Chains A and B, each alone.
Chain A
Amino acid sequence: MTKRTLLLLSVVGILAELPLTAELPQEPIGSITNIAGAAHVLRAEQELVAEKGLRLFAADVLRTGAGGGIGVVLRDDTTLSLGPNSELTLSDFDFKPDEGILGMTLKMIKGTLVYISGQIAKLAPGSAKVETPAGIAAVRGTKLLIEVPETKPMKREGKSK
């Protein structure tokens, strides 16, 4: 084997390993601290059983069943909890105070949410948002409760119940 082939082989070897290293690990945006009953986290088509200590990432969906509940602490000290039959998407979360990058969006799909704002709402008032099917809440540092009843008689594309 020539030196050249060896070199080529090693280059191929490096390239072959690239896909493993090229994918930057996403930073967790928080974790689950409390659980009751049936609770799951939907992540990229996967349904994970929600457990205390489970790290959460942007775009995760929290879902509880009858009698279920989830409590979460996000990295900016935002705390939130879901009651039974609830669903919430952690759509966006940017907490880089040194770079002035601050913002978060939660999407409340259904159920009950208790939300205590953290540093994002404190440092950049109004940039912490909770979207619901019928309006957006922009929070300036506080405790907020949101209920989105499951029956949606006025939503055109909603299921008829």
Chain B
Amino acid sequence: MRVAFGMLMGLCALLAGCATTPQARFYLVPDPEGKVGEVTLTNKAGSVVLNKANETVDAPGGDQAFTDARQADTKEIEETFGDAFMVMPLPPRGFNIYFDSGSAKIKPASEGLVAEVLAEARKRDSRDVSLNGHTDRVGDKAANMELSLRRADTVKTLLMKAGVLEEYIQIEYYGESKPIVPTKDNVDEPLNRRVEVVVR
């Protein structure tokens, strides 16, 4: 049996028909911001780097080397990946909502942002929202831990009112342990009094 397969593999290497069905094909395309990154492909026969828009390479399979890179047109890409594009998630969106000192009350200046968070959650019918609560270093650590949770809860309540089910909201809270602006103890720092929101 193995010999037969081995012969088949040998035949495939000779026949053009087999070569047109690679075991894997890779395409590098611009990301949503138009940026083209870089990917290194590696197999037993070596490695190849893709770093140009719409560059594509085949891995024929077995121990064979990657083919030379070629430029794919958008039609080919759309034909192969069109269905997958249809279910591609929107990029997650992050927001920082700021709070009054020592309180779980959202700053008036952040209320517009809160409206945006709620609109985004509604628009996506989001079923995955993360809330990370934080404080500055005014007050003691334990109280700040509890305050960071209350801040996250404030946002959670608003999201639930906007229709996001509780089971789809996860909260983490860190007190004063993860500042954006590191400060000495008992320093009032508005940028650290925040809830980081990610809507997916």
- Measuring CB to CB, which residues of chain A are less than 8 angstroms from any residue of chain B? 31, 33-36, 52-53, 55, 67, 69-73, 77, 79-84, 86, 98, 108, 112-114, 116-117, 121, 126, 132-149, 151-156
Report the separation of the CA atoms of residues A54 and B28 in the bound assembly, to the nearest whole angstrom: 29
Is the CB of B43 closer than 8 A to any CB of chain A?
A: yes
Report the separation of the CA atoms of residues A29 and B190 in the bound assembly, to the nearest whole angstrom: 31
Q: Across the interface, do B29 and A53 meet the contact criterion of CB distance under 8 Å?
A: no
- Please give, as numbers and ranges, the residues of chain B lying within 8 Å of A136 by CB-CB distance: 41-43
- Please give, as numbers and ranges, the residues of chain B lying within 8 Å of A132 by CB-CB distance: 23-24, 59
Q: Across the interface, do A145 and B80 meet the contact criterion of CB distance under 8 Å?
A: yes
Report the separation of the CA atoms of residues A31 and B127 in the bound assembly, to the nearest whole angstrom: 8
- Please give, as numbers and ranges, the residues of chain B lying within 8 Å of A141 by CB-CB distance: 37-38
Interface residues of B in 14-65 (CB under 8 A from A): 18, 21-32, 35-43, 59-62
Main secondary structure of the interface of A (DSSP, over half): strand
- Please give, as numbers and ranges, the residues of chain A lying within 8 Å of B25 by CB-CB distance: 146-149
Contact partner of B39 (CB less than 8 A), chosen from A70, A71, A133, A138, is A138
- Please give, as numbers and ranges, the residues of chain B lying within 8 Å of A153 by CB-CB distance: 8, 12, 18, 21
Contact partner of A145 (CB less than 8 A), chosen from B27, B83, B125, is B27
Main secondary structure of the interface of B (DSSP, over half): mixed
Interface residues of B in 55-106 (CB under 8 A from A): 59-62, 66, 77, 80-92
Q: Across the interface, do B89 and A71 meet the contact criterion of CB distance under 8 Å?
A: yes
- Please give, as numbers and ranges, the residues of chain B lying within 8 Å of A84 by CB-CB distance: 83
Give the interface size class of chain B.
35 or more
Q: Across the interface, do A154 and B32 meet the contact criterion of CB distance under 8 Å?
A: no
Q: Across the interface, do B88 and A138 meet the contact criterion of CB distance under 8 Å?
A: no
Q: Across the interface, do B12 and A135 meet the contact criterion of CB distance under 8 Å?
A: no
Q: Across the interface, do A147 and B59 meet the contact criterion of CB distance under 8 Å?
A: no
Q: Across the interface, do B81 and A112 meet the contact criterion of CB distance under 8 Å?
A: yes
Q: Across the interface, do A147 and B83 meet the contact criterion of CB distance under 8 Å?
A: no
How far in angstroms is the closest Cβ of chain B from A50? 10
- Please give, as numbers and ranges, the residues of chain A lying within 8 Å of B88 by CB-CB distance: 34, 71, 79, 81, 114, 116
How far in angstroms is the closest Cβ of chain A from B89? 4
Q: Across the interface, do A83 and B84 meet the contact criterion of CB distance under 8 Å?
A: yes
- Please give, as numbers and ranges, the residues of chain B lying within 8 Å of A80 by CB-CB distance: 89
Q: Across the interface, do B91 and A79 meet the contact criterion of CB distance under 8 Å?
A: yes
How far in angstroms is the closest Cβ of chain A from B80? 6
Is the CB of B115 closer than 8 A to any CB of chain A?
A: no
Report the separation of the CA atoms of residues A139 and B41 in the bound assembly, to the nearest whole angstrom: 9
- Closest residue of B by beta carbon distance from A77: B92
Report the separation of the CA atoms of residues A154 and B82 in the bound assembly, to the nearest whole angstrom: 27
Is the CB of B162 closer than 8 A to any CB of chain A?
A: no
Q: Across the interface, do A149 and B42 meet the contact criterion of CB distance under 8 Å?
A: no
- Closest residue of B by beta carbon distance from A144: B39
- The answer to whether residues A156 and B2 also contact, given A138-B40, A140-B40 and a CB cut-off of 8 A, is yes
Is the CB of B119 closer than 8 A to any CB of chain A?
A: no
How far in angstroms is the closest Cβ of chain A from B7? 11
